[in-house]
Chains A and B, each alone.
Chain A
Amino acid sequence: MAKNTESNVYTILFATGMVVIVGTLLAFLAASLKEKITENKRIEKQQNILYAMGVNENDESSVEFVSKNIVGSEFSKYITKQLVINGTEAVEDENAYLIDIKKEAAAAKVKGYQRKLPLFVGNKEGVEYYIIPVRGKGLWDAIWGYVAIDNQLVVQGVFFDHAGETPGLGSNIKERFFMDDFKGEHFLDGDLFKGISVSKGNSDPKNLDKTDFEVDAIAGSTITGDGLAAMLKKDLKLYLPYLKTLKQ
C-alpha cells in the first residue's frame, strides 16, 4: 500500500511519533548514564583540586592528573580539611568540594542569602596549601579553576578549565605554559588587593617578575584572558577577609 506522505495528517503523526521515539530514547539513555557521568565529574573535581596544589603526575610539559583509581585515597591523604567560609569564620564540612559554585553565585544575587564559599586545606610535605575554587566567563562559555596559595598568600599552583573556548587559542588556558606562569605570583600589594591580570605586551614573557600582578597573555585570546583575570579578581576577593587571618 502506497502511503500518502504528502498529507497533513500523516506529517503531523510522523512528527509526533518521531519526537516521542527520540525523546524516550534520549531520556532513557541520559537517565541510565547519569550516575556514571556524575561520578566522573566528582573524580575530575578531586583531580583538579589536587592538581592545583601540585599533586599530579606532570612530566616536562603535559598536564597529567593523578590516576582515576587512586584519586579518592590521594584526596583524603592530601586534603586535610574542607571548610566553608563566612567572612572571617570557617566551618568544617567534609563534602565542601561538592558545593556547586555556579549555583551559589547565582543564589548570592538575592539579598540576604549567605553564600557558601568552599575552601580546601591541603598539606603536602609539611607545607600548607589553601585551595580556592573560582568561576567566571570566557569568550564563549564558562571558565573555572582552582587556585592554590600558601599561608603567605602567594600563588603556588593553579588549574584552569573551560567549557568551550576556541581550540588552539582560548582553550590554551588549560595548558602548562600558561598555568605554570601563575606559580609564585602575588595578588596582594602589602594589604592592597590587586588580583592577577593577564596582559599582552607586559615585556616579561618569561614571567620572571612575580610581584607585577600580571602574567603573559596568550596571543589571539584576549577576551578569554580578560575573563580569566576578572574571574580571579572577583572570586579571590570573596575569600580575602578569611585569608588575611591566615597571614597573621
Chain B
Amino acid sequence: MGLLSKKDLKLITDPLADNNPITIQVLGICSALAITAELKASIVMSVAVLFVMGFGNLTISLMRNIIPPKIRIIVQLIVVATLVIIVDLVLKAFAYELSKTLSVFVGLIITNCIIMGRFEAFALANGPVRSFIDGVGNALGYAGILIIVGFFRELLGSGTLLGFKVLGDPIEKTGVYAFGYENNGFMLLAPMALITVGIIIWVQRSRNEALIEDN
C-alpha cells in the first residue's frame, strides 16, 4: 500500500470487523433500530454519517490542542450540529429531492453516539489525517451493519428491496406469495431490528472467540 501505511489501513479495516462500532462497541444502536425498516433509508443514512463523521473527526482533531477540557463535549456537539446543518442547507439548495429523503435523519445524525464516541476516543488524541481515516473507517463499519439489517428487514418485512417487489405481489398473489408465503410485518418494528443486530453479534462472536469476554 503506497497511499496508506499498514497502521492507517488498520484504522479502516478494524471497524469493519473486529472493532465494529455497532456490534462490538455497541454504539449508534438507536439509529440502527430506527431507520433500517427499508434499505434505501439505511444507505442514505450511511452516506450522511460518513460525511459528518469524517469531517467531524478532522475538525475536532485540528482543534484538539485548543479545546478547553471543561466544555469539550459541548464543543463536539457544536461541531457535529454545524456540519449537519451545512449538509442540510446545501442539499436543500442544490439537491432538493435528496434533502427530502434525508430530512428525517438530520436530527438522528446529531444524536448518533458513534460520532461523539470517536471524537472522544480518537480525534482528541490523534492527528488530523489519522482522525479522518478513523472517522471514515467507523462510518463504513456502521454502514455495513445498517445495510445488512436494512436488507433483511425490508426483504422479510415488506417483500421488497429498494422498493422493488422482488418476491412478487402480496395482494395479487404472484411470485412466492402464490405458495402461501406472507410478509412478516413484525420485521418492520424496532424489536426485530434489535434481534437482527443480536444475530449478527452472535455470528461474529462465534466465528472469532477472541471477542468473547471471560466472565
Contacts and interface: CB of A to CB of B under 8 A. Distances in A.
B93 A220 contact: no
Contact of B185 (A5, A15, A33, A219): A219
Contact of B67 (A14, A163, A164, A219): A14
A209 B37 CA distance: 31
B68 A6 contact: yes
Contacts of A25: 82
Contacts of B163: 61-62
Contact of B92 (A18, A19, A37): A37
Contacts of A163: 103-104
A44 interface: yes
Given A169-B188, A206-B171, A33 B104 contact: no
A123 interface: no
Nearest to B74: A15
Interface in B36-83: 37-38, 41, 65-71, 74-75, 78, 82
Contact of B89 (A3, A6, A33): A33
Interface in B109-154: 153-154
Q: How large is the interface on A (under 10, 10 to 19, 20 to 34, 35 or more residues)?
A: 35 or more
A151 B188 CA distance: 40
Contact of B70 (A6, A33, A40): A6
A6 B78 CA distance: 19
B86 A168 contact: no
Contacts of A14: 66-68, 71, 75
B103 A164 contact: yes
A107 interface: no
Contacts of A40: 92-93, 96
A168 B68 contact: no
B24 interface: no
B188 A26 contact: no
Contacts of B171: 205-206
Contacts of A37: 89, 92-93
A30 B165 CA distance: 40
A168 B92 contact: no
Given A5-B68, A22-B82, A29 B89 contact: yes
Contacts of B158: 168
Contacts of B211: none
A219 to B, nearest CB: 5
Interface in B153-188: 153-154, 157-158, 163, 165, 171, 185, 188
Contacts of A62: 163
A29 B189 CA distance: 38
Given A18-B78, A44-B96, A167 B86 contact: no
Given A168-B158, A169-B37, A36 B93 contact: yes
Residue of B74, B93, B163, B185 contacting most chain A CB atoms (<10 Å): B93
Contact of A168 (B107, B154, B165): B154
Interface of A: 3, 5-6, 10-11, 14-15, 18-19, 22, 25-26, 29-30, 33, 36-37, 40, 43-44, 61-62, 140, 163-169, 171, 205-206, 219-220
5 contacts: A5-B69, A168-B153, A169-B188, A171-B104, A206-B171
Nearest 10 interchain pairs by C-beta: A168-B37, A11-B68, A167-B41, A168-B38, A36-B93, A33-B93, A40-B96, A164-B104, A219-B185, A37-B92
Interface of B: 34-35, 37-38, 41, 65-71, 74-75, 78, 82, 85-86, 89-90, 92-94, 96, 103-104, 107, 153-154, 157-158, 163, 165, 171, 185, 188-189
Given A26-B85, A164-B104, 13 more contacts: A14-B67, A14-B71, A18-B75, A22-B82, A26-B82, A33-B90, A43-B96, A61-B165, A164-B107, A167-B104, A168-B41, A168-B157, A169-B37
